[in-house]
Each structure stands twice: as structure tokens, then as C-alpha cells.
């Protein structure tokens, strides 16, 4: 098996119907994995499944992961060993400081922080089945560079949730390492996605210019980072936060 080959592995990608999640699902399929995607929108699940089917073996399970009950239901739908869990589903909320509502904290932290914890815990038996000394099972949390630096946007709960997710990644890496499960996070910079559409529409040229590489992220950039962490190439990496941002946050 090649260093980046995922043939025979099973992966679950939450929020896998669009944006970064769709990029990740396609990359895992292209590397040989079979992939289950999840989203709260059943129609979006079917549309994405049909699109991704050209790349490999893909299934879709609708689930609203903002509740522990739905995390448990999704976990129960995943049968047998699970080699790769990608906790990507997320939400954001922007509002001025004096107008920022309680609902913005509840919605964003439920999905961005609590969901990865509850889903990972619910899937431990399946991850254990896939884990070995030479080839650990993998949990990959999708954080953000806004959890590494102070954003210019008034997205208080989003930035806080991603910084907390980065720390949760390290805590779980220590906890699950003895079970032969690695836990890492990817901290994306700007990529084409529904969440970033308005910001890129208004400030895309300026954001690209702020990167030492002079551009925003491409699908292969996200796919490549995920395949690295999911494959034999990343089997000795755990507790890491990997910025994939063209240097926007990491060179400031």
C-alpha cells in the first residue's frame, strides 16, 4: 500500500455535502476510501452523494448533529470498523458586540464544539475496531485560523468555539492515544464555501493579497492535508493543529 493510499478504509465526514466537507470527502474517495457523508439536509445529502459517486463508494446519512441524540443516531448507522472520522460540520454567526445574542453562542458551540466531542465518543467502539499499533484510527477535527488569531469579523462565538476545538483536539489526543487513535485538527484559512461566500464576495481580492502565496485555498489543498493525516504518512502525528491557510495566520 502506498504512503497516501486509503484503499479499504472507511471514513465518515460530517458536513460533507458542501464546501470544505465536500472537498474532504472527494479527496478521501480519490485516495481509495469508502466514505459516508452527513448533513442535516436530506436533499443536500442525496445531491452530494450523487455528485461524489463518480469518485468512489459513498453513502449519505442525514443528521442534525447539534444534539447528542443525533450524534448517537449517526454513530449507530455506522457499521463495523471506522478508520477515519472527520468532524467538519459547523456554523458561524456574526453580529456587533452589543447585539450579539445568546442564541449565537448556543447554536455555534453546540455544533462546533459539543458535536465533535459527542460524536467521537459515540464512535469509539467503531474506531477501536479499526485501530492498530502500525495503523491507528484517525479523528480529524476541522478548526479554523480564527481559533489561532484574532479575526477582524465580529464572530465571537465562532472564534471561541474553534480555539476550544483546537484544545479539545489535544486533550483527546492524549486520552485516545493509548487506544491507538490519533486526534488532529486542520485549521483552514479562506476557502470557497457557503460560510465564506459573503466575505469572499466582498473582500476576496484583499484576502488573497494578504496571503504570502497570493491566493485563497483550493479543493486539493484541503484534500491533501486530510489524506496526509488519514493515511500511513500521518500515522505518527497526533495532537497537532495544522494550519492550511497559505500563511495568512501563521506569518502575521
Catalytic site residues? 158
Find, among 21, 48, 25, the residue nearest to 35 by Cα.
25
- Per-residue cell: 124: 469509539
- Whether the Cβ atoms of residue 191 and residue 217 lie closer than 8 Å to each other: yes
d(Cα 8, Cα 162) in Å, to the nearest integer?
Answer: 31
Helix or strand or coil: residue 96?
A: coil
- Per-residue cell: 17: 455535502
- Whether the Cβ atoms of residue 34 and residue 57 lie closer than 8 Å to each other: yes
Q: Which residue has the cell 469508502?
A: 34
Q: Is 30 exposed, middle or buried (0-12, 13-18, 19+ CB in 10 A)?
A: middle
Instruction: Pinpoint the alpha helices (H) of 92-218.
Output: 102-109, 115-122, 124-130, 156-176, 197-210
**Residue 193, phi then psi, degrees to nearest 5:** -155, 165
d(Cα 204, Cα 216) in Å, to the nearest integer?
Answer: 8
Cα-trace Rg, the chain = 17
For the beta carbon of residue 167, count every other beta carbon within 10 angstroms. 14
Amino acid at each position: 500500500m502506498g504512503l497516501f493510499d486509503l484503499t479499504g478504509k472507511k471514513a465518515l465526514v460530517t458536513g460533507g455535502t458542501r464546501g470544505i466537507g465536500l472537498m474532504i470527502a472527494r479527496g478521501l474517495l480519490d485516495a481509495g476510501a469508502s466514505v459516508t457523508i452527513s448533513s442535516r439536509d436530506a436533499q443536500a445529502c442525496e445531491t452530494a452523494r450523487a455528485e461524489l459517486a463518480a469518485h468512489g463508494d459513498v453513502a449519505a446519512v442525514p443528521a442534525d448533529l447539534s444534539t447528542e441524540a443525533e450524534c448517537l443516531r449517526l454513530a449507530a448507522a455506522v457499521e463495523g470498523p471506522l478508520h477515519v472520522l472527520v468532524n467538519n460540520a459547523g456554523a458561524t454567526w456574526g453580529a456587533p458586540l452589543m447585539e450579539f445574542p445568546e442564541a449565537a453562542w448556543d447554536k455555534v458551540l453546540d455544533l462546533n464544539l459539543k458535536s465533535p466531542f459527542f460524536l467521537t465518543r459515540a464512535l469509539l467502539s467503531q474506531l477501536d475496531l479499526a485501530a492498530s499499533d502500525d495503523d491507528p484510527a484517525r479523528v480529524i477535527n476541522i478548526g479554523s485560523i480564527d481559533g489561532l488569531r484574532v479575526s477582524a469579523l465580529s464572530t465571537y462565538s465562532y472564534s471561541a468555539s474553534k480555539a476550544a476545538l483546537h484544545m479539545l483536539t489535544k486533550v483527546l489526543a492524549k486520552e485516545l492515544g493509548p487506544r491507538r487513535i490519533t486526534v488532529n485538527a486542520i485549521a483552514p484559512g479562506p476557502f470557497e464555501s457557503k460560510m465564506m461566500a459573503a466575505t469572499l464576495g466582498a473582500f476576496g481580492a484583499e484576502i488573497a493579497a494578504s496571503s504570502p502565496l497570493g491566493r485563497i485555498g483550493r479543493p486539493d489543498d484541503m484534500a491533501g492535508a486530510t489524506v496526509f493525516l488519514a493515511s500511513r504518512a500521518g500515522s505518527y502525528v497526533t495532537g497537532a493543529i495544522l494550519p492550511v491557510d497559505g500563511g495568512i495566520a501563521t506569518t502575521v
